[in-house]
Amino acid sequence: MSKSLLLAVLLLLGSVCAHAVDAPAPVTEALQKVLPNTKIDSVAPSSMPGFYVAIVAGHVLHVSADGKYLIEGLILDVPNRADIKDADLAVMRKEALAKIPKERLLVFAPPHPKHKVVVFTDVDCPYCRQFHKQIADYNRLGIEVDYVLFPLNIHPGADKKAEAVWCASDRNSAYTSAMNGQTVPQKTCDNPIKELVSGALAMGLSGTPAILTEDGSQVGGYVAPADLAQRLDGANKAPN
């Protein structure tokens, strides 16, 4: 993506003042110089020596510690044949997932889970609805599903629907009703929806469903039950 196109995309996503992040001054200064007045969601050390990984308005960028270089796109770790971006995001997401309180999740779990995934979900997302219609199959295969409400801006009113689910006396039942196309009675209460959305964006997530494993890796968007179980079984057998 060219610098001008990247700028255009970020500005369309919404320009707001950058907030303080835990990173060397040259890194934040470089980001603010190239992308003025655009929100810096998070910054952390990269697995690539001498670089930091930054999430800026939901986009992943790498910046050198001295602020001289900014990279957007594929960075290949040649010996491991892996994208540095994926490894860096997994580390950041693992830490971020660990900070989400259990009480902010909608948990659908079998009695003795073999695997656990965290799924960022939007009530108005068709593939999220397809995923949840098969929740019994995921559970039957030993997969615990912890949902994080992540209403997207592209779905007007999705935030209000997420709030209605959150404020219901039985959130899991309300979520299931919503995913089946039923109207959940609108209620308001103190809720973490905005914080959950900000957290998802700071992880570089922009779509739903987003399926993350406990180590922060993204398994995909929608993945059918048997395929997801196979991937999770394979990940557990992979050598460290």
Q: What is the pLDDT of residues 159-202, one digit of tens each?
A: 999 999 999 999 999 999 999 999 999 999 999 999 999 999 98
Q: Looking at the domain covering 102-237, what would its CATH class be?
A: alpha beta
**Phi and psi of 96, rounded to 5°?**
-70, -40
> CATH 3.10.450.70 occupies which residues in the chain?
3-86
Q: pLDDT per position in the chain (240 positions), as tens? A: 444 444 444 443 333 333 435 678 999 999 988 888 888 888 989 999 999 999 887 788 999 999 999 999 889 989 988 889 888 999 999 999 999 999 999 999 999 999 999 999 999 999 999 999 999 999 999 999 999 999 999 999 999 999 999 999 999 999 999 999 999 999 999 999 999 999 999 898 989 999 999 999 999 899 999 999 999 998 766 554
**What CA–CA distance (Å, rounded) separates 147 from 196?**
11
> CATH 3.40.30.10 occupies which residues in the chain?
102-237
Q: What is the pLDDT of residues 164-176, one digit of tens each?
A: 999 999 999 999 9
**What CA–CA distance (Å, rounded) separates 225 from 231?**
10
pTM of the predicted model, to two decimals?
A: 0.82
**What CA–CA distance (Å, rounded) separates 23 from 51?**
11
Q: How far does the chain reach from its first CA to its final CA, in angstroms?
A: 33
Task: Find where tokens 């969601």 sit.
Answer: 41
Tell me the CATH architecture of domain 3-86: Roll (3.10)
